[in-house]
Amino acid sequence: MQTDNTSGLTRKQIIELTGVSYYTLTHLRLTNQLPIIKHPRGSGDKTLYHPDAVIIILDYLANKKGGN
């Protein structure tokens, strides 16, 4: 997967890598559970997530499935 931003991952890239739903990703972001490299400065600007966010999301999904 090629990206212009080699230092971080976009929302789309994280969704493709983990299979997490948009709503779950938004929940984790809004509750400050994901490390963010660059916060958006306005409309159209992308949030860049730290690569460790993938591990956090996969752990969250595993715990969610295991709890049912």
**The pLDDT value given to residue 36:** 95
9 has pLDDT over 60: yes
pLDDT at 6: 58
Q: Which DSSP symbol is given to 46?
A: P
**9 in Cβ contact with 47 (< 8 Å):** no
- Would you say residue 5 has pLDDT above 80? no
* 19-68 pLDDT per residue, tens: 999 999 999 999 999 999 999 998 889 999 999 999 999 999 999 877 65
Other beta carbons less than 10 A from residue 43's beta carbon: 5
Q: Record the pTM.
A: 0.81
Query: 42: which DSSP letter?
Result: S
